[in-house]
Amino acid sequence: MVDLATKSLLHDKLRFLITVSGVAFAVTLVFVQVGLFLGLMGNASLTIEHLDADLWVTSRNAANIDFARAFPESYVQRVRSVPGVARADNLIVWFMNVNLPTGAVEGTEVYALEDFERWNFPWNLPEGRLEDLRRGPYFILDESAKKRWGDFRVGDYREVLGRRLKIIGRSVDAKSFTTTPLTFMDYRLAQSLNPSDLRGNTTYILVKLAPGADVEAVRSEIRRRLPYNDVFTGDEWAKHSRRYWVDSTGLGLNMYLTVFLGCLVGIVVVAQTLYTSTMEHIKEFGTVKAIGGGNYDIYLILGKQATIAAVLGFLFGALQAYAIRPLIDRIDLELVIPAELAIAVFIGSIVLCLAAAMISFRKVASIDPALVFRT
């Protein structure tokens, strides 16, 4: 069968380029916006997922993992005595100021545990040993701090809340939603740095359940014993932390709005170019009808053209998004494009392009084949 759809589409190369570019632009926009959103959301709950606690005891109405409030550390004893709890440890998450060698003051988000090894946290440690954190005024700094703090090496010192601490290790991939560099230090050291807020206090209790323990039963008992705290499962706490940023920052609205605008731009460009093309080829379509073709034959032509534009636009758009990735990495953001997103955007591109083509379908249905006799 002669492929009139493809040949006609490629015949007007400039129009074809505009159509594909429109789709590619929309696809890139969606990939970048949703990818950034997913990257940020991943950071928002990254530490929660890697700590692998079955239950999190938090202060009442805590907003998210980063914005913690202190409560008495002795509560951990009440949790440890709950049947079904295998292990319960205090965790401090707290913002502190760091004086840099340049004289600048930057913030850091401190994660403090008594035993980091037990929680295998931080999870990716190319330099240093977790057990050394207990041996003095030391801390481990994440690689991502280089962006804001400048270069550092293991063995360097930094002043945290006025106290000189030695960097004894370097972690990788430990990030927060706020992009504030993460540091890891001994629980007691963190308390000593900010005694007014943290002496005798913790901000979270991490709970690991005994094998076979009923999560809901344990949670219920912890709630009974700590009526002024909240208790979340790991998944719930991760969702809770992510939802805070989505709701409070307008990030979700921004993403949905941009995705909507991206789709709108794509659909308008494709609809406009296909409709103009239909109008310009109306006599050809009239000829198709005159020689015995029906509306269906012309719908197939338009549908195929829309699908070709969608597929090529998707490929170019995806390539652009992947090309942008290293640039986004450089500013310490992450563009996450999971296979599910790619498949959804691919299907969405085709569906939207076909929907755009349907605007031309109405015109085609009204073509009078008698127009072939008009000069």
Partner 1 sequence: MAVLEARSIQKHFTEGRERVHVLRGIDFDVERGEIVSLEGPSGSGKTTFLSILGCILTPSSGEVSIDGVAADPARLAAIRRRSLGFVFQQFNLFPSLTALENVEYALNIKGLRGEVARNEAERVIEAVGLSDRKSFLPRDLSGGQKQRIAIARALAGASPVILADEPTANLDSVSGAQILDMFRDLAKKENRALVIVTHDPKVRSIADRVVRIHDGRLAA
Positions that interact with partner 1 (CB under 8 A): 1-2, 4, 7-8, 10-11, 283-284, 286-294, 297, 369-370, 372-373, 375
- Distance of alpha carbon 32 from alpha carbon 16, whole angstroms: 24
CB 134 within 8 A of CB 140: no
What the block records as the tokens of 248 is: 């409070």
- Distance of alpha carbon 33 from alpha carbon 27, whole angstroms: 10
Instruction: Kindly tell me which of 196 and 375 has the beta carbon lying closer to partner 1.
Output: 375
Question: To 5 degrees, how large is the angle CA 98–CA 100–CA 104?
Answer: 95
- Of 177, 337, 335, whose CA–CA distance to 244 is shortest? 177
Instruction: Kindly tell me which of 127 and 297 has the beta carbon lying closer to partner 1.
Output: 297
Rounded CA Rg of the chain = 29
Rounded to the nearest whole angstrom, what is the least distance from the CB of residue 288 to partner 1 in the complex? Answer: 7
Instruction: Kindly tell me which of 212 and 292 has the beta carbon lying closer to partner 1.
Output: 292
Rounded to the nearest whole angstrom, what is the least distance from the CB of residue 250 to partner 1 in the complex? Answer: 48
Rounded to the nearest whole angstrom, what is the least distance from the CB of residue 235 to partner 1 in the complex? Answer: 56
Instruction: Kindly tell me which of 250 and 294 has the beta carbon lying closer to partner 1.
Output: 294
Instruction: Kindly tell me which of 141 and 298 has the beta carbon lying closer to partner 1.
Output: 298
Rounded to the nearest whole angstrom, what is the least distance from the CB of residue 273 to partner 1 in the complex? Answer: 16
- Distance of alpha carbon 184 from alpha carbon 108, whole angstroms: 10
φ and ψ at 65, to 5 degrees?
-60, -35
Whether residue 137 is preceded by a cis peptide bond, meaning omega within 30 degrees of 0, is no
Instruction: Kindly tell me which of 17 and 210 has the beta carbon lying closer to partner 1.
Output: 17
Rounded to the nearest whole angstrom, what is the least distance from the CB of residue 251 to partner 1 in the complex? Answer: 47
* Cβ contacts of 285 within 8 Å, gap of 6 or more: 278, 298, 301, 364, 367
Rounded to the nearest whole angstrom, what is the least distance from the CB of residue 279 to partner 1 in the complex? Answer: 15
The residue type of 199 is R
